[in-house]
Structure 1
């Protein structure tokens, strides 16, 4: 996992907060900025780039099969992989696990060529150790992995996903992978989870895609459905990571809670994205640089929330097209517990509350449409009208 040099931050950062004072019958609130946190001036223009995140092999959609080992899955079998290499999986099986326990420097590539595994209570693919594991679908292949019951632990290791990895995990290829988790997560990586190609369908009771350090999407056709979060990245030990980056592909997310949740930041540089959830996109710093994004939220569309001390709490819109529709009631299309910055792009809002911010809104470029009307300011719809609006460069 690589970040730009600007993202090396001190754990001594403190969160931004509100302070309130009563004046007669009114109330004023001010937003206290975080100290030592990366701010808009550090982050604008892109927090991470594709060059930071992907190797040439990551972006290659086919495996080198010249020295590949071929494995046919069988009922009740644990397939143990202990060495670097390429392994082609075929066949249909019940209660079968592909277990990878290789050297810490080993790169292991699993090539799914029409494989189907249905398990009762344990992952279909279980990565204990390796440097990185690739899961690659062959062109035109249909592959299904599912777990029908409650996951059981492996000793002290809690396994809670159909594909569970302690190490970096990358999904790519030219085929289709369908993952179904009746009682847990769909795909979990305790490190980075990367998707660079292929068709991926994930249905899960809990998080559909989960990672500790990051979820990054370069390309692919991805559809996820979750009774919890669609995409969830969070690191309990280091809140400067646990982020989500989307640079391309097609992403459709339906979730009961957050459709996309990156604890530190969420950065969208491209792609066609349609998400639906209580919160559409949530992160401490949300940066929209490109893409065609459609958000349906029953609470907030975009929510810049105080989740990480390492980043300013803000929503930044610098490009792309963002269509946001939210439900009735105490809801907001774009909600920031800190600041809002808009320098470009198009924002099309359908909502009773368009913007809600505790800090400052700065609007210097782009187009804002609220309920069919073009507006030239970011008006705070928060109860009591807190926050300050700043204009620069627009007339």
Structure 2
């Protein structure tokens, strides 16, 4: 069939455009555009379309080379893990000019043909194609897939991803849809019936005609399709379940009622409404088709078990109907079968669970967790109000949240993934949504990785930054055992423990953070890399702490009761003490804007400190047991702008070896100058080098900036006033009215000392 991406009916525009969202969430090329080598088509649920040389119907990925030359793929990579693009490496393989190559994604590398070491998930994941140097050539992130329906580029090679009639190694030609899905949006609904009649009457001559959407296979759309759709909606498409306090009625197939318990035992769509005062909705299906449950105004209370229990199913999708309010409540007294301790949550699933829609889901858990899946849990949208005596929302294998509004009050953890034996699972991925989480323990906690690419977060853990918790308690904002990766988002975090914490690595490329914590703002037991974002850490023990800290960009305002930044190896150093090995500890400041107000060390490096760019302004400490700059091994300064004012007892400047930018260290333990007293340096012609008002009392100042030159003389003043504009104590523009001239000094060494 032919298709055209134009429609003459304005009311159809939104529906036709919605087709592109049917399963694929996003598609990006190496340069966000056309590339000669692309992921052209894939199938993640292959039942009968194409068999590999051993006769197995496995997942497959098709690559297409649109260039006039062949491309050797040896050393290239394919992956289904965004965190590991080099998961699988191509053997010696070539894709011809204008040709296709199909790769079996079946984890059977020893079989004949080209086979990866991973499989695709029909529930949705990612495919990444990258070159031998690691650069990403093409990638696609997709949602749930249909059996024997592929996803591919249409038009072939450079179009958007869409549902297709599979072509496997050939040009993508035909768009696909289910029988009766006339507008191609993935559902059979009243709009499809209306569109059928419009097409029949000639009112929508340019509408897309999707292969498979007609009833008899003839390709024509008309009255027969409209009648089919109406019958599907009213009779066959949806089984309607009505809850009547202590009884249940079932209108349709696939479900049975026994008193106040309804059991869904087959794949299909089920619409549920009504109230059960003491009953259950149970899913126990051996069908390979997904179970789709539409909650359309449901209230279920169960006094002895889980009100909603998925005992067995290939996949369960819960849709929260528009404008609906749905409530699930348990009690503190569960009755288990012998030897069992599950189900133990009002919403409990032993298999993959997806929740979507725009309605309300209100869960009150009085026994244990509120929403819990023993496999994967995907939340696409919805409004969630969660109250739990333990954890709020838990996906054991993974928790994937794409959107929604969440209000979570949990005595345990707020959001959680618990799989700790498989390194590829146990992760939390959040790409959007609004979250207000109040937790007794951690707000967000994953046994492997936490990946956040968007969303608004208001997180309070352990009673907030003024609370006191036990030594063995954990009340962190965002916590991962392996890695935390944050690309974007708005974060307001108030915690008794660390605000952002990883037992291994943290990478932050963006986001706005407002943090108040009783411990560290950002803490890693290993490495922290920050490439962007804004950080307002208004209260903390230490602002940023890790064994290796790299700041490439970002804006930081840190107020710390101990160190502003602390480089130290191993576990959290909040208990004090010396670090036994500093040889692997490093601080790299290559860019960014950093302002520190510290009662302890301003910047404490139990190892080596390298600064090549950025702006660093340090205020404090006032006591001589710490210093504005405190390093163990060396401080190599090759660029950037540095002013560090504090006590004189431990005042340090950059080391001579390898340092290339001139710096000055003033210290006088007999002159304790009040906070706000200006420091002014000007050259011999009276041109201002800088004017700075430290925020704390000070006896010493270390400063370095590109304006300082070898052999040049400068005047150092204290006090006075300036008409310039002050930002974080640093003045720009205006006129300086002199205070007291301390002395004139000349830059003759890489570090000039004024004592």
Aligned to 2:431: 247
The CA distance in 1 between the partners of 2:451 and 2:397, in whole Å, is 14
Structure 1 residue 304 corresponds to structure 2 residue 304: no
1:356: Cα distance to partner? 5.1
- Equivalent residues, number: 342
The CA distance in 2 between the partners of 1:265 and 1:84, in whole Å, is 33
User: Which has the larger Rg?
Assistant: 2
The CA distance in 1 between the partners of 2:578 and 2:185, in whole Å, is 51
Pick aligned residue for 1:363 from 532, 536, 551: 551
1:249: Cα distance to partner? 1.2
Aligned to 1:332: 520
Aligned to 2:271: 88
Q: What is the CA deviation profile of residues 330-381 of structure 1, one whole-angstrom value per residue up to 9, with x for unaligned ones?
A: x111111111111111121122323453420011111111139xx9x94448
SS of equivalent residue, structure 1 residue 371: strand
Pick aligned residue for 1:281 from 478, 501, 522: 478
The CA distance in 1 between the partners of 2:559 and 2:326, in whole Å, is 43
- Contact map agreement 2:364 2:370 (CA 8 A) in 1: yes
- Contact map agreement 1:63 1:111 (CA 8 A) in 2: no
SS of equivalent residue, structure 1 residue 279: coil
Structure 1 residue 129 corresponds to structure 2 residue 312: yes
Question: Whose strand proportion is higher, 1 or 2?
Answer: 1
Alignment of structure 1 residues 93-172 onto 2, 5 Å: 93-103=276-286, 105-157=288-340, 158-172=342-356
Q: CA RMSD in A?
A: 2.9
Give the direction of change, closer, same or farther, for the CA distance of 1:79–1:137 in structure 2 (3 Å limit). same
Pick aligned residue for 1:391 from 586, 589, 601: 589
The CA distance in 2 between the partners of 1:168 and 1:314, in whole Å, is 29
The CA distance in 2 between the partners of 1:169 and 1:154, in whole Å, is 23
Alignment of structure 1 residues 307-318 onto 2, 5 Å: 313-318=504-509
Aligned to 2:240: 70
**Once structures 1 and 2 are overlaid, which stretch shifts more, 187-196 or 66-75?**
66-75
1:106: Cα distance to partner? 2.3
The CA distance in 2 between the partners of 1:102 and 1:8, in whole Å, is 38
SS of equivalent residue, structure 2 residue 240: strand
The CA distance in 1 between the partners of 2:272 and 2:140, in whole Å, is 31
Aligned to 1:322: 513
The CA distance in 2 between the partners of 1:254 and 1:80, in whole Å, is 35
Give the direction of change, closer, same or farther, for the CA distance of 1:384–1:358 in structure 2 (3 Å limit). farther
Give the direction of change, closer, same or farther, for the CA distance of 1:64–1:295 in structure 2 (3 Å limit). farther
The CA distance in 2 between the partners of 1:218 and 1:115, in whole Å, is 24
Structure 1 residue 54 corresponds to structure 2 residue 143: yes
Give the direction of change, closer, same or farther, for the CA distance of 1:380–1:236 in structure 2 (3 Å limit). closer
- Contact map agreement 1:314 1:340 (CA 8 A) in 2: yes
- Contact map agreement 2:544 2:565 (CA 8 A) in 1: no
SS of equivalent residue, structure 1 residue 185: coil
Alignment of structure 1 residues 339-354 onto 2, 5 Å: 339-354=527-542
| Structure 2 length-normalised TM | 0.43
- Contact map agreement 2:510 2:534 (CA 8 A) in 1: yes
Structure 1 residue 293 corresponds to structure 2 residue 491: yes
The CA distance in 1 between the partners of 2:384 and 2:399, in whole Å, is 14
Alignment of structure 1 residues 368-379 onto 2, 5 Å: 368-371=556-559, 378-379=565-566
- Contact map agreement 1:151 1:184 (CA 8 A) in 2: no
Structure 1 residue 237 corresponds to structure 2 residue 425: no
- Contact map agreement 2:327 2:363 (CA 8 A) in 1: yes
The CA distance in 1 between the partners of 2:439 and 2:185, in whole Å, is 29
